[in-house]
Amino acid sequence: MNRLFYLNHSAINAHFTKNSKDFVVTEIPLYEFCGEGEHLILKVRKKDLTTWGMLEIFSKLTSVKVRDFGYAGLKDKDGMTVQNISMPKRMEHTLENFTHPNIKILEKTYHKNKLKTGHLKGNRFFIRLKKVNPTDAHKLKQVLKTLKKDGFANYFGYQRFGINGDNYERGRGILEGKIKERNKKMRNFFISAYQSHLFNLWLSKRVEISKLFNSFDEKELFTLFNFPKEIIKKIKAQKSFFKMLPGETLHHYPFGKVFICEDLDVEAKRFFEKDITIAGLLPGHKTSISTGLAGNFEKDFIKECENFIEKMNGTRRLAWIWADEIEHQYKEDEAWFEFSFSLPKGSYATVFLEELTHIKEKGF
């Protein structure tokens, strides 16, 4: 799908390959491990392996079933990843002589609980761009400053939709009863891709609306939108690029509970200060829609799934996020632009990279 960029700069020439030297992901744990307990915690570094592929290798060596390993997040095959996994402490002796060309155990400790999905603050990324000339390096530095200050749209990346980008179509077919998928895990995966597709459509439309509010005056906006003039004025006055609407579902940032916007002026100020953010909808029967104008926009994007919405649980996802701890350096002799940054869990470094360079992932 065509995800809309919110920045207006032209594409910045750069070459990126998602390999273990140019793309590194390091998990940021949610908490410190206590150092005691029945679970062995391994801090591992892997390359050119998915998390599942790595766990299968450990499973064969230790005789621990894959389901008995714990992990905070699944990582892609391409690139290098540093992450924590857990396994029963009683099987620690099976790792005494462990060696593997694509896996290295960096640290060991213990904890009272098994690691579970989502038990992390976020991830820190390192990216190396190649074939970058000095002019484009300067542009990259300037755009990074803007992204650090203003944030960016938290789209789902292409990884979510498969090599051909059509996983969501299979998910919709399953929900409509046109496609049979007996594997429950794969069934849920395809349905999730469909929900992600709807989220991206909604978010792209909201970016478009925000662009309009940032580009036109109140009189012009009144002709474009069927909003009361007072609401037009309140939205236009917001300092953030991404405009908040009345009745929005909001989320404490980066952690906390969701709540409904009752005072647009107050909450827009908190959004600008990065205290809260807007929570977009992944539709399902367990998640209520927003109210007011925000709810009307959500309804437009769930019309096509109304007949089978009971087959999806649904949830909320941070729609607008900020990268933290951005660092960069330009190595002119090699024509390399290297930078690192941290993102909340569930966010895509490649989406941040696309907004930075304005080159879609498949264009690298």
Q: Which two tokens stand for residue 70?
A: 């714990």
- Helices marked H in 151-291: 167-176, 184-215, 218-224, 229-236, 264-272
pLDDT at 101 over 90: yes
Q: Which two tokens stand for residue 175?
A: 């929900």
Model confidence band, residue 1 (pLDDT cutoffs 50, 70, 90): low
DSSP state of 244: P
Computed over every residue of the chain, the mean pLDDT equals 95
Q: Around 126, how many Cα atoms within 13 Å sit in the side-chain half-sphere?
A: 15
Give the rounded percent of residues in the chain with a pLDDT score beyond 90. 89
For residue 97, give every residue at least 6 positions away whose Cβ sits within 8 Å of its Cβ, in sequence order, or none. none
- 248-279 per-position pLDDT tens digit: 999 999 989 999 999 999 999 999 999 999 99
Q: How far is the C-alpha of 21 from the C-alpha of 16, rounded, in Å?
A: 11
Model confidence band, residue 362 (pLDDT cutoffs 50, 70, 90): low
Q: Which of 22, 48, 68, 76 is catalytic?
A: 76
The reply to whether 76 belongs to the active site is yes
Among residues 311, 259, 304, which one has the least CA distance to residue 285? 311
Q: How far is the C-alpha of 141 from the C-alpha of 133, rounded, in Å?
A: 12
Q: How far is the C-alpha of 132 from the C-alpha of 138, rounded, in Å?
A: 10
Q: How far is the C-alpha of 279 from the C-alpha of 317, rounded, in Å?
A: 5
User: What length is written for the chain?
Assistant: 364
Model confidence band, residue 162 (pLDDT cutoffs 50, 70, 90): confident
Q: Which two tokens stand for residue 358?
A: 């304005």
- Residue keyed to tokens 């919405």: 309
Model pTM? 0.92
- 167-183 per-position pLDDT tens digit: 999 999 999 999 999 99
Q: Which two tokens stand for residue 53?
A: 């592929």
Give the rounded percent of residues in the chain with a pLDDT score beyond 70. 99
pLDDT of amino acid 158: 87
Model confidence band, residue 22 (pLDDT cutoffs 50, 70, 90): very high
How far are the Cα atoms of 44, 80, 104, 244, 323 from residue 100, in angstroms, in the given order? Answer: 11, 14, 7, 50, 34
Model confidence band, residue 194 (pLDDT cutoffs 50, 70, 90): very high
pLDDT of amino acid 3: 86
pLDDT of amino acid 357: 97
CB atoms within 10 A of CB 36: 11
pLDDT at 11 over 60: yes
- 211-251 per-position pLDDT tens digit: 999 999 999 999 999 899 999 999 999 999 999 999 999 99
Q: Which two tokens stand for residue 31?
A: 């908490």
- 35-87 per-position pLDDT tens digit: 999 999 999 999 999 999 999 999 999 999 999 999 999 888 899 999 999 99
Q: How far is the C-alpha of 298 from the C-alpha of 208, rounded, in Å?
A: 15
- Cβ atoms 114, 72 nearer than 8 A: no
